[in-house]
A and B are shown apart, each in its own frame.
Chain A
């Protein structure tokens, strides 16, 4: 005999409501826009996948996507190794620990737009310490005119702002390794590299995965800082997907294509995060097949 108890639904109801209001309903609104066209008056016409075809075929989207991918790749390539290196160099005991931790946490406490403003002023050639300093050294630096300078500024700014996160995550993993592991490795005669590769890295692998995912998603969705510092310029050179999307949706009021683009954007992030996750969790098994190479 099957016992039915519909009261159980009451238990999940609050959660369902919360998820519905915070995620599902907004998402469905976007889906709604992405398959319709409107000429005002609240009149909508079914257009099917037309906007998706248009967005995927447009050069503007391709360029923005390439810029965003390059930006994320550079951010990960710099922040992850740098973060690990700093975490390895941080002291493990004594007063210096709290000092370093506070120092590391400081950039993380600053809001995105403030970071943008700080660097925007810092890099200005006329009044900024960095910009003026470089100019007085005879270096031609101007992030408002020079594409390369704009990119360097944004990347340094992001590295300054977010490397700490990687450091703190890795550090938490490193301090959890008991001292005897290092002692055992010394007795084995393991090199510094071998200690990192076979003791420290496996131990921080999990937090490193979180660090990579967080930094990837964050850098892939970066908006505020380039908006404040470069406004997407010079030209379109720092117009990332997010900036492009806002320009399309708010600037041009092309709601249909913008909605299609946000869905594509969302799916790309989802897909790449899944790839990162799968690759990094399978690293464990790769290490076994790598035997004999150290």
Chain B
């Protein structure tokens, strides 16, 4: 188990990492999710022992590993760039960490053959990395990490430079490849969808802080903070501040209050100490629906239980099975993810509905979740 306690590190007088505490277990896939410069690589470098944290503790299986040179750690790392020794054959590339470790010839051959088989590299063992496709080059790098049988495997956006098809293929294989090692596996990514597909546990990183850490699906369904919800939403999370008045909730700046039933449902779910807080409502794009898609939409009782959102379409992106409708609501850019093709022209009016229990409420000041309803994924 890799344990990080209150790890902090400053780089060029800004905080690259602040107060990071995580417990990463062997045999589990741990995902670091966050945008560029959120500290994923910095954190991995600290985990690897390439950088020394300014403060905090780092222990592996109970022993402190701070100050232990990288060479003496049982560690393997794969990067976004395809890093292989250019002058060595694929076989030699995979064998290189084993040769450094001084294993005997027989053992090296067995392990390389095994890794080559797992990563489908057998036909290319005599080639140079430069003569392989990008996907195959990354497979070589992964094989190098695999043969080492390291107890800590760090994968820093390993699929980011691959094209879509290869990425999907390799992503499906990755968790299985390293599962048998019983190693602590850490995987950094910028894409929420990648984290969801991989499963395991996820730590949401933002500006060098861990926003939330837990099983990936729980984190997605039940984010603790507005930031964690934002980081884990693609298309971007829609949010707008709410204001109170005349006993009801309304979107800040809106003339009309939310329907009484909606207000009641939202307020009832507030914990006692948050009843007076300023709130922000957030909803993911795929929870917004057109009136025609809502069952019994024509019945007033149904309408009364839904949040109505009237906006103006900016642009629509159609992927085929889905349409991303970008629109402006109360001056804010929102996006709805609708099933099927909806070729809405720019400037058109759009009315969408959201169910209250699909929405998240956050305390505007603290950014913390103020309601613990399950999101209904």
User: Are B87 and A189 in contact, with the CB atoms below 8 A?
Assistant: no
Q: Are B97 and A188 in contact (CB under 8 A)?
A: yes
State the interface size on chain B (CB cutoff 8 A): 25
Q: Does B86 contact A (CB under 8 A)?
A: yes
- Expressed in whole angstroms, the minimum distance between the Cβ of A190 and any Cβ of chain B is 6
Query: Is A287 among interface residues, defined by CB-CB distance under 8 A?
Result: yes
Task: Give the CA-CA distance A22 to B209 in the complex, in Å.
Answer: 67
Given contacts A187-B70, A187-B77, A188-B97, contact A291 B88 (CB under 8 A): yes
* A294 CB-CB contact with B under 8 Å: yes
Contact with B along A280-294 (1 / 0, CB 8 A): 000010011001101
Bound CA span A189–B91, Å = 18
Given A181-B83, A186-B71, the answer on whether A288 and B50 have CB atoms closer than 8 Å is: no
Partner of B99, one of A284, A288, A294: A294
Give chain B residues whose Cβ lies under 8 Å from the Cβ of A190.
Answer: 96, 100
- CB 8 Å contact bits of A235-271 with B (1 = contact, 0 = none): 0000000000000000000000000000000000000
Residue among B71, B83, B128 with max Cβ neighbours from chain A (10 Å): B83
**Cβ-defined contact, B85 with A189, below 8 A:** no
- B79 lies within 8 A of A180 (CB): yes
Check: B272 CB closer than 8 A to any chain A CB.
Answer: no
CB contact between A198 and one of B75, B79, B87, B91 (< 8 Å): that residue: B87
| A284 and B89 contact, Cβ closer than 8 Å, known pairs A187-B70, A187-B77 | no
Is B234 located at the chain interface by the 8 A CB criterion?
no
Which chain B residues in 88-108 approach chain A with CB under 8 Å? 88-89, 91-92, 96-97, 99-101
Asked whether B86 lies within 8 Å of A202 as measured between CB atoms, the reply is yes
Number of interface residues of A (CB under 8 A): 22
The answer to whether A187 and B76 have CB atoms under 8 Å apart is: yes
Complex Cα gap A188–B77 (Å): 9
Near A by CB (< 8 A), chain B positions 55-97 give 70-71, 75-77, 79, 81, 83, 85-89, 91-92, 96-97
Q: Is B242 an interface residue when CB atoms closer than 8 A count as contact?
A: no
| B88, A186: Cβ atoms closer than 8 Å | no
**Would you give the shortest CB distance from A173 to chain B, in whole angstroms?**
12
A180 touches B70 (CB 8 A): no
Q: Is B231 an interface residue (CB 8 A)?
A: no
The main secondary structure of chain B at its interface with chain A is mixed
- A199 contacts partner chain B, Cβ-Cβ < 8 Å: yes
The answer for the CA separation of A202 and B129 in the assembled complex, in Å, is: 12
B48 at the A interface (CB under 8 A) = yes
CA–CA, A183 to B79, complex, Å? 10
Main secondary structure, interface of A, reads helix
Contact (Cβ within 8 A) B100 A202: no
Residues 7-60 of B at the A interface (beta carbon under 8 Å): 48, 50
Chain B residue contacts of A181, Cβ below 8 A: 83
- Give the residues in chain A near B96, CB-CB below 8 Å: 188, 190, 198
Residues from chain A with a CB closer than 8 A to the CB of B101 are: 189
Cα(A203)–Cα(B97), bound, Å: 20
Which residue of A has the minimal Cβ distance to B100? A189
Those of A154-190 within 8 Å (CB) of chain B:
178, 180-181, 183-184, 186-190
A86: Cβ under 8 A from any B Cβ? no
Chain B residues with Cβ under 8 A from A288's Cβ? Answer: 87-89, 92, 126, 128
User: Which residue of A178, A198, A201 has the most chain B CB atoms within 10 A of its CB atom?
Assistant: A198
Report chain B residues within 8 Å CB of A202.
85-87
How far apart are the CA atoms of A186 and B126 in the complex, in Å?
25
The answer to whether A180 and B97 touch (CB under 8 A), given A187-B70, A187-B76, is no
- B254-308 residues at the A interface, CB under 8 angstroms: none
Knowing A186-B50, A188-B97, A189-B100 are in contact, say whether A180-B87 is a contact too (CB < 8 A). no
Chain A residues with CB under 8 A of B75? 187
Cα separation A190 to B71 with both chains bound (whole Å): 8
CB distance from A286 to the nearest CB of B (A): 9
Contact A180 B86 (CB under 8 A): no
Inter-subunit contact B83/A184 (CB<8 Å):
yes
Flag B180-210 by CB within 8 Å of A: 1 or 0 each: 0000000000000000000000000000000
Provide the residues of chain A in CB contact with B88, threshold 8 Å: 198, 287-288, 291
Which B-chain residue is minimally distant from A197 (CB atoms)?
B87
Distance from B152 Cβ to chain A, minimum over Cβ atoms (Å): 10
12 A-B pairs with CB atoms under 8 Å apart are A183-B50, A184-B77, A187-B70, A189-B101, A190-B100, A198-B87, A198-B88, A198-B96, A199-B86, A202-B87, A288-B89, A291-B92
Q: Give chain B's interface residues, CB within 8 Å of chain A.
A: 48, 50, 70-71, 75-77, 79, 81, 83, 85-89, 91-92, 96-97, 99-101, 126, 128, 144
Residues of A within 8 A of B (CB): 178, 180-181, 183-184, 186-190, 194, 198-199, 201-203, 284, 287-288, 291-292, 294
> What 7 additional pairs, Cβ within 8 angstroms, besides A180-B83, A198-B87, A284-B128?
A183-B77, A184-B83, A187-B75, A189-B101, A190-B100, A201-B87, A288-B126
